[in-house]
């Protein structure tokens, strides 16, 4: 009876201490994990693994972990950890799971989410000093085809150091939070990640070309070596985070990956944003504390020079290299960078009662006025059109515009609302731009508005001007192509991508694809337009030097923000020469 009362009191105390917030806005969406399933309390890895293994395909699981371990014994021989076997809780092909660490607990094992696992939540866990650095001993690993995962309010730590004799000289500890293969739709929020060398990998190699989508929000990064994250391909959103004492490098997009970096606070950091890759990654920087080279000394931000022959770029001037090319499927609130820092210091990590921004704004001073807009930029076609802007606020606000061809309605509001931004038809050939400003409570938010000029009825893109990977190559050996060559796909995992494709005003459009297929049997692969996939089949043309065209109906965005991608899925595709947008 005493044990039952103790457990009941523990659950009641936990429930009373946890704010009833929804999932943090991010690519994971509003997932539920194990929902209201009766918690299973475990204190060891073996007990946790048994509970996961026993979960049925239609069931749900809530794990409450209350175990601990002797840190000092590990610290006494810290360089003995890397050669030990990795220990981890394996979640493979399981769905609808919440893992919640009870306050005061800590784990010396990792968590690996793999297979087709989805709707997985990991919260309030303190995980550190893991064994198995040389055996893929990640603190948290998300891989294979897992999706819709939320990693929230955890503390992850080891030591930011190197022990002699480790493989590759960098496996004293392995990844802190690695995302690989086709794992996608992941939100990483309010975590305290510290004292570690290799933090976050997205994509295991330059051929791991899946289009992953990951959000990092309100995290606290301190005394870390690199990979914040190390991103290959795909799309990442990093907002309201705090980066301090970064000893090697920070945000590192590669292989054409795009990252939106906004309202973060960086200080005491070496190379906080850079890319060095055969295909450079791109960043869109918005409203971070550092906004020009003059801010580097102010915040003790330093840079090393690029070296070697691989293409390299660094954000030394804190300027955007490419506008983030996709629309975010969620509405979120940003805070001034100094407020983001304060929120992370007061809310991120385990044992904080799962507090979020709204719970600590009183402590964080300037955050009491909340006013944000989404999106912060709008691209319209030449025809007369309009687009909505969501306003998230706790104050009254007014709306103004600075161009006669722009109309914003309504011109005022209070608290949360929406503004319709309209543009008259642009009959000229040149594009034009203006701004809509939403102001309230002493804060102003600007929405940039751009409108395309009247364009020709079609535009042609040569595939050899795009990017390829996964074994797909550029060739020019078969005559009859246009431009300087064509794309020859590999059998599996190959891709060819054309970015910054004009939508000619947007809406339903026709892609005219010019190709050659010198075999009798048709070949099928995947066509992705702005991440939306469909199968595409090419029929034989009789010879590799005989070129034909095929029309495909697609939906494109306004202006030049579209991405067209061909992927091979088990057999070679046709040789693709060009794509024409009609």
From the list 446, 433, 434, the residue with the least C-alpha distance to 399 is: 446
Task: List CB contacts of 448: < 8 A, sequence separation 6 or more.
Answer: 376, 377, 378, 433, 435
CA-to-CA distance for 453 and 378, rounded, in angstroms? 15
Q: Is the peptide bond before 201 cis (omega within 30 degrees of 0)?
A: no
Distance from first CA to last CA of the chain, Å, rounded? 75
Question: Tokens standing for 510?
Answer: 């026709």
Of the listed 220, 227, 355, 565, which one is catalytic?
A: 227
Q: What is the DSSP string of 206-234?
A: TT-----EEEEES-EEEEEEE-SSEEESS
Query: 45: helix, coil or strand?
Result: helix
Task: List CB contacts of 463: < 8 A, sequence separation 6 or more.
Answer: 486, 487, 496, 498, 576, 577, 578, 579
From the list 365, 289, 375, 368, the residue with the least C-alpha distance to 332 is: 375
Question: Tokens standing for 308?
Answer: 């070697």
- Mode of pairing for the β-strands spanning 385-393 and 417-423: antiparallel
Q: Is the peptide bond before 229 cis (omega within 30 degrees of 0)?
A: yes
CA-to-CA distance for 550 and 531, rounded, in angstroms? 21
Please report where in the chains the tokens 């997985």 appear, as a residue. 120
Concerning whether 232 is annotated as a catalytic residue, the answer is no
Residues 408, 420 contacting (CB under 8 angstroms): yes
CA-to-CA distance for 399 and 308, rounded, in angstroms? 50
* Burial readout 525-553 (b: 16 or more C-beta within 10 A, e: otherwise): bebbbbeeeeebebebbeebeebbeeeee
Residues 254, 280 contacting (CB under 8 angstroms): yes
Q: How distant, in Å, are the alpha carbons of 26, 75, 86, 159 from that of 82?
A: 34, 13, 9, 12
Q: How distant, in Å, are the alpha carbons of 140, 167, 228 from that of 224?
A: 16, 20, 9
Active site residues: 227
């Amino acid at each position: 009876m005493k044990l039952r009362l103790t457990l009941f009191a523990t659950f009641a105390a936990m429930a009373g201490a946890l704010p009833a917030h929804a999932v943090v806005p991010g690519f994971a969406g509003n997932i539920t994990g194990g929902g209201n399933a009766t918690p299973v309390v475990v204190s060891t890895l073996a007990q946790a693994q048994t509970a996961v293994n026993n979960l049925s395909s239609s069931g749900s699981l809530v794990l409450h972990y209350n175990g601990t371990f002797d840190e000092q014994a590990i610290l006494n021989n810290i360089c003995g950890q890397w050669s030990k076997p990795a220990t981890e809780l394996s979640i493979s092909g399981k769905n609808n799971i919440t893992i919640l660490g009870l306050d005061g607990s800590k784990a010396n094992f990792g968590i690996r989410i793999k297979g087709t696992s989805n709707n997985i939540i990991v919260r309030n866990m303190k995980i550190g000093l893991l064994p198995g650095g040389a055996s893929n001993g990640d603190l948290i690993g998300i891989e294979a085809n897992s999706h819709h995962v939320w990693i929230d309010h955890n503390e992850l730590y080891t030591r930011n150091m190197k022990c002699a004799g480790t493989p590759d000289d960098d496996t004293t500890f392995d990844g802190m939070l690695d995302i690989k293969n086709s794992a996608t739709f992941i939100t990483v929020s309010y975590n305290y990640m510290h004292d570690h060398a290799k933090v976050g990998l997205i994509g295991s190699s330059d051929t791991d070309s899946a289009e992953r989508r990951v959000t990092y929000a309100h995290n606290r990064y301190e005394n870390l070596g690199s990979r914040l994250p190390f991103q290959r391909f795909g799309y990442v959103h990093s907002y309201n985070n705090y980066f301090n004492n970064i000893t090697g490098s920070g945000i590192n997009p590669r292989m054409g990956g795009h990252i939106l970096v906004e309202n973060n606070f960086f200080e005491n950091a070496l190379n906080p944003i850079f890319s060095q890759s055969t295909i450079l990654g791109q960043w869109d920087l918005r409203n971070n504390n550092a906004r020009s080279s003059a801010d580097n000394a102010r915040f003790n931000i330093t840079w090393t020079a690029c070296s070697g022959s691989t293409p390299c770029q660094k954000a030394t001037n804190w300027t955007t290299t490419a506008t983030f090319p996709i629309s975010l499927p969620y509405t979120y609130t940003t805070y001034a960078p100094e407020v983001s820092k304060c929120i992370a210091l007061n809310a991120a990590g385990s044992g904080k009662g799962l507090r979020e921004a709204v719970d600590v704004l009183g402590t964080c001073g300037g955050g009491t006025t909340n006013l944000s807009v989404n999106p912060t930029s709008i691209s319209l076609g030449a025809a007369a059109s309009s687009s909505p802007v969501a306003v998230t606020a706790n104050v009254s606000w007014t709306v103004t515009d600075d161009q006669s061809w722009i109309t914003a309605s309504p011109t005022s509001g209070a608290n949360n609302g929406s503004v319709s931004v309209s543009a008259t038809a642009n009959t000229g050939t040149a594009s034009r731009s203006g701004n809509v400003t939403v102001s309230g409570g002493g804060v102003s938010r600007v929405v940039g508005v751009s409108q395309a000029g009247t364009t020709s009825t079609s535009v042609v893109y040569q595939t050899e001007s795009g990017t390829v990977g996964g074994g797909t190559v550029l060739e020019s050996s078969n005559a009859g192509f246009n431009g300087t060559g064509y794309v020859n796909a590999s059998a599996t995992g190959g891709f060819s991508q054309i970015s910054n494709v004009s939508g000619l005003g947007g809406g339903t459009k026709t892609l005219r694809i010019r190709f050659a297929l010198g075999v009798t049997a048709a070949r099928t692969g995947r066509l992705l337009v702005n991440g939306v996939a469909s199968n595409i089949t090419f029929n034989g043309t009789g010879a590799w030097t005989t070129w034909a065209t095929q029309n495909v109906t697609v939906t494109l965005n306004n202006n030049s923000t579209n991405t067209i991608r061909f992927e091979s899925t088990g057999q070679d595709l046709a040789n693709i020469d060009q794509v024409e947008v009609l």
